[in-house]
Amino acid sequence: MELFNDHKKLFGAATIMFLGLTMVVAIMPAIHNQNNNKPLPGTVEPGEDVIKGKAVFIASGCVACHTQQVRNIDMDKVWGSRPGIAADYANITRTDFWRNTATLMGTERTGPDLANIGNRQPSKDWHLVHLYNPRIVVKESIMPAYPWLFMVKKEPSKNDVVVNVPASYVAGKEGKVVAKKEALYLTAYLQYLRQAELPDGKKAPEFLYKQAENQQANKSSNAAAANGQALFTANCQACHQANGEGLPGAFPPLKGSDIVIGDKLQLYVDIIMNGYDAKQEYGVMPPVGSNMGFTEHEVAAIINYERSSWGNEGKEITPEEVKRIMEAIQLKISK
Ligand code: HEC
Ligand code: HEC
């Protein structure tokens, strides 16, 4: 055949086919995607700190262990309130002229997915301690420590953000651990990572391949399924620790706490639903219950677990009591 004997024709034909295929499989789909996917109305534009934080995230190699994509399969349910959709990524643009878009969706999940970490863990204090050394708050963590995002200062100034690191973790140096600006940017980025809500009336795609045990749990009533210990582990343990002793200077102990064992039930429920910032020596507790949409059954299960653990001996309470308080608090907030 002549085509194969004439190198000009052969390479010309190959070039045209290459350009044509590139149009069809890469450029046209990309244009279609850009025209048909806009960021959801609830999406917040990243501020300057967040953009710098993303650069620290990239430079630190966090994507090696963390994904940012909630797949539409049942086992991903714990990482977000809905599966991710194309619109979630529609406001991501080129890093700069020289560098392409870093979507950071990731391929390896050695640690948890971070697509919704800002909702799951909104606490700045927690992120800073965790980045300094994950083992301080999660004993069995295999995540590397990032101490170079911090420095030890003998006398921190007023503007320094001091991180409450237990003395045993500050090897051989005297002073307080202070967050460098990189750590603050990175934390701002982690707090920014949230799944935006779908517009009213739009249904989220379903989680597929439901696991047998979950189907079972959905069928049985809320009351029976609310397991206090599991709820504590998933929602409270990161800060208050498995032994209920908290972390001195950062998170208060629930073991022996007046609020936990005493009869200030209204305050207790209020703290769980709306967060707490009362004492100078501790950080701020985020509104864990509201973020997670706890029902009265779940709140009661957590309270009963905390009241009967670590040597605590508090009165058992019922979901009905909690429900009444939740309604009263709701009234107070909406007023
Ligand atoms: C070698 C793998 C690895 C690397 C690299 C890594 N992590 Fe992790 N990460 C983990 C593991 C495992 C966990 C779960 C245990 C824990 O909470 O420490 C985790 C937990 C987390 C959590 C808490 C997630 C949750 O749902 O509670 C955050 C936030 C986080 N990592 C951020 C980062 C950031 C930011 C970086 C980069 C500076 C990073 N990680 C680098 C493995 C890693
Ligand atoms: C991100 C970290 C964090 C998480 C998660 C968290 N807390 Fe807290 N919690 C705190 C901090 C910080 C305080 C102290 C606030 C203050 O006094 O200023 C606190 C205070 C409390 C107190 C008051 C203790 C006392 O004696 O003053 C109770 C009770 C409590 N939390 C219960 C819970 C429960 C239940 C959960 C889970 C549903 C939970 N917390 C999850 C950080 C956290």
Alpha carbon of 109 to ligand 1 centroid (Å): 10
The pLDDT tens digits for 105-119 are 999 999 999 999 999
Residue whose C-alpha is closest to residue 232's, from 269, 272, 279: 272
Alpha carbon of 105 to ligand 2 centroid (Å): 32
Structure tokens at 138: 């999660």
Ligand 2 atom at minimum distance from 286 CA: 1
The pLDDT tens digits for 150-190 are 999 999 999 999 998 888 888 777 889 999 999 999 999 99
Exposed/middle/buried for residue 188 (C-beta within 10 Å: 0-12, 13-18, 19+) = buried
The pLDDT tens digits for 276-287 are 999 888 889 999
**Mean pLDDT confidence for 260-273:** 93
Interatomic CA distance for residues 106 and 88, integer angstroms = 15
Instruction: Return the residue whose CA atom lies nearest to atom 39 of ligand 1.
Output: 62
Instruction: Return the residue whose CA atom lies nearest to atom 23 of ligand 2.
Output: 259
pLDDT interval class at 219 (50, 70, 90): very low
pLDDT interval class at 220 (50, 70, 90): very low
pLDDT score at 40: 92
Alpha carbon of 240 to ligand 2 centroid (Å): 7
pLDDT over threshold 50, residue 236: yes
115 lines ligand 2 (CB under 6 A): no
Structure tokens at 214: 């979950």
286 lines ligand 2 (CB under 6 A): yes
pLDDT interval class at 333 (50, 70, 90): low
pLDDT over threshold 80, residue 242: yes
Alpha carbon of 289 to ligand 1 centroid (Å): 23
